[in-house]
Amino acid sequence: MNSKHNHDYNDHQLDHSDHKHDHLDHQQWQADHRNWRIEHSKLLATLHSIEAEIHQHEAQIFAHEHEIMTHEVEIARHEKLIGAHERSGERGGHNGAQVNHDTQHKAHNAFASNHEQLKQRHQSICHKLKGLNLS
């Protein structure tokens, strides 16, 4: 019986050792899960930040498109005035038309600058997203 008792004791010791290792595994897995959740939170915060930036960029694009359409209307109006001026052959109103032209040209240059800023912002957003390496 003594040998049976030793055998049982050894089995129990092995069981205890297995349980201890299992417990250590479980602790490590739980620590991994906590770390993964922290990483997930950081990634989600990054994604939400980029998403907000995209929505803001979309609003800026929409506003820029509206400015372009308004500018197109002003150019068409200016073209119509030029046409009427040319048909009438009168010299009067030329200075006013020139001021209008200069105003429209300055507006166009401002829109071009705005467009360049939008383009750079777009490239920045795309670069951030490509940097996430979502594959």
**Per-domain residue ranges of the chain:** 2-131
Q: What is the pLDDT of residue 3?
A: 64
The first and second tokens of residue 116, run together, are 């360049």
| Residue 94 neighbours by CB distance under 10 Å | 11
| pLDDT given for residue 134 in this prediction | 64
pLDDT computed for residue 89 by the predictor: 74
User: pLDDT tens digit string along 67-124?
Assistant: 999 999 988 988 888 888 788 777 666 777 788 888 888 989 999 999 999 999 999 9
Q: What pTM was computed for the model?
A: 0.67
**pLDDT on residue 93:** 66
**Which residues make Cβ contacts (< 8 Å) with residue 53, sequence separation at least 6?**
125, 128
Read off the tokens for 18: 């297995």
With CA atoms as reference, report the closest residue to 87 among 99, 98, 79: 79
Residue with more model confidence, 134 or 55:
55
